[in-house]
Chain A
Amino acid sequence: MSLLVANGVTKQFDGLHALAGVDFTVGSEEVVGLVGPNGAGKTTLFNVLTRFLEHDGGTISFDGKETSKMRPEQLVGRGIARTFQHIRIFHNLTVAENVIVGTSFAGRRRADVVDEAISLVEFVGLGHMANALGERLSYGQQKLVSIARALATRPRLLMLDEPLSGLSHAVVAEMMDMIRKIRQQKKAVLIIDHNMEAITALADRVVVMGAGKVVFDGTPAAMLQSELVISAYMGRPIEKDEN
């Protein structure tokens, strides 16, 4: 059964069709790659799915429930968490505090909340930096913290916006290992990224967007063979080799 279902979702900005009827699903425990050229509408779709933007038309449901009346924080409570392309770390909080903000602490013992946060900080490999301020972290470390604090909300669907961009090869490999571990926790993961090698290695299914629409939805292997996908990425039709 699909966890997240989008049907004919549209969004305009001053007449520009950022989303022009997106049909799209993410299944439980599925890893889906969302790719496409810049301006294809991927981040807009993320913002609409997480209710940071109102969509103009179409329907979105999560776990069988229509989400259009929900506020972003309510959607988090139902099990959707996200990270941002521009990381948005809390620079004035420590690593552990960044994660604590994501935890649910109502009615829980203080020590339990702290233990949960510490285990997540250790999960992303930053246990030794639990007390370091966010502003002191490197770019890669900030990305790790943003994932740890999203996990603190105990999501069923984790949406990662360009988790691999700007990272060195070594850190990309570490991040990919971590995403695999998250998957083993029986969570669905939706990843936007331009690193096609990583996406094909991680994803069960790849959704390709172009000009606000889904132009391909299939396995990574099928995507690599798709002329339509190459066309969408290159911005021009594929020319046949005449020789």
Chain B
Amino acid sequence: MSPYVLQVLSLFNVLAIAALGLNVVVGYSGILSVTQGALVGVGAYVGALVLLAGGGWLMASALAIAVTAALGCVVQLLSNRALGDYYIVISLGIQTVLFAVMLNWQDVTRGSMGLSGIPGIPAFAGGRIEFWVVSFAVLILAFLLVRAFSRSFHGTVLRAIRSDEIATLSLGKPVRLYKVGAFVFGAALSGVAGLLYATLHRYIDPYSFQVNLSILLLSAVIVGGLGNVYGSLVGVGLIVALPEALRFVPMPSGLAAHINEIVYYSLLILFVLFRRQGIVPEFGWGSSALNVLGRPGAKVAP
């Protein structure tokens, strides 16, 4: 397999892990977060700094997960009371603050210069195929975790919260705790994705983790299908494949990036207007809905 294809497939694995986490936050819990890009960045910086300091992979993974999860906990506790439009404003504010920290805390992040020379995966000699294997294994693990969670009763409570928080509270479920838990889970997966992103590119700078990344991940989850674990994979497949496919369309090189964005965001608008349920609907194939007359995950009655 060519290095180019491996690079694209590896990027798919990394973004899919982040999107799976975001689907728990947005798709299952209804928390419209635009902070995920910055959280991927925090995971990337924490992991890269540990690796550059010679801390080893285990410590880098543990700290990337722990820091992003703790940060996710603080973020959600701060914004838990806000709903709808207000939540989006707070979420956007947090994304901007985290980006500003990555850009301006130069002693640690080296600001716009970024961090380079990030070590690869030592056990596999740090090659492209080895990275793909490891990132794919992590993606499978993340997928199984999210699928098991979404099919658990706790996943059902999260979907209830997305539908009606007051009614869920009236049934004795601690809504705020569930929302914090969902956000922490999503943030932890962002941390994992961030660490993998840093080791894939061996270089990171703050501009990779701006609000664009948050919106890109959010679009992947919406276009793929909110609340369906397979939807995140399909959505990320689209956002990774589309720019690559457009590379082969003959057009002036200066225009390619812009046309890519126009096509992508037009597609997003069309989906929101005409197919809100996404490519893989919540109650379609692989649904998390509990079929009490059959097995979990079976299609529910119309």
Q: Is A123 an interface residue, CB under 8 A from the partner?
A: no
CB distance from B39 to the nearest CB of A (A): 26
Contact B171 A97 (CB under 8 A): no
Q: List 26 A-B contacts (CB under 8 A).
A: A72-B169, A73-B169, A76-B171, A76-B172, A77-B172, A90-B159, A90-B160, A90-B163, A90-B168, A91-B163, A92-B162, A92-B163, A92-B282, A94-B301, A97-B289, A98-B160, A101-B156, A101-B160, A113-B153, A114-B290, A131-B292, A131-B301, A133-B289, A133-B301, A134-B163, A152-B171
Q: Is A169 an interface residue, CB under 8 A from the partner?
A: no
Q: Is B157 an interface residue, CB under 8 A from the partner?
A: yes
Contact A131 B293 (CB under 8 A): yes
A154–B253 CA distance with the chains assembled, in angstroms: 66
Q: Is A57 an interface residue, CB under 8 A from the partner?
A: no
Contact A96 B290 (CB under 8 A): yes
Q: Is A4 an interface residue, CB under 8 A from the partner?
A: no
Q: Which residues of B contact A (CB under 8 A)?
A: 153, 156-157, 159-160, 162-164, 166-175, 227, 282-283, 289-293, 300-302
CB distance from A207 to the nearest CB of B (A): 22
Q: Which residues of A contact B (CB under 8 A)?
A: 50, 52, 71-73, 76-77, 81-82, 84, 88-94, 96-98, 100-105, 110, 113-114, 117-118, 129-134, 136, 149-150, 152-153
A133–B167 CA distance with the chains assembled, in angstroms: 16
A82–B166 CA distance with the chains assembled, in angstroms: 11
Contact B159 A131 (CB under 8 A): no
Question: Given A88-B164, A92-B159, A117-B292, are A133 and B300 also a contact pair (CB < 8 Å)?
Answer: yes
Q: Which of the listed residues B170, B174, B227, B301 has the most CB atoms from chain A within 10 Å of its own CB?
A: B170
A91–B300 CA distance with the chains assembled, in angstroms: 13
Q: Which of the listed residues B156, B162, B302 has the most CB atoms from chain A within 10 Å of its own CB?
A: B156
Q: Which of the listed residues B169, B172, B300, B302 has the most CB atoms from chain A within 10 Å of its own CB?
A: B172
CB distance from A162 to the nearest CB of B (A): 15
CB distance from A48 to the nearest CB of B (A): 14
Contact A100 B290 (CB under 8 A): yes
Q: Which of the listed residues B160, B167, B175, B293 has the most CB atoms from chain A within 10 Å of its own CB?
A: B167
- CB neighbours of A105 from chain B (8 A): 153
Q: Which of the listed residues A81, A88, A110, A129 has the most CB atoms from chain B within 10 Å of its own CB?
A: A88
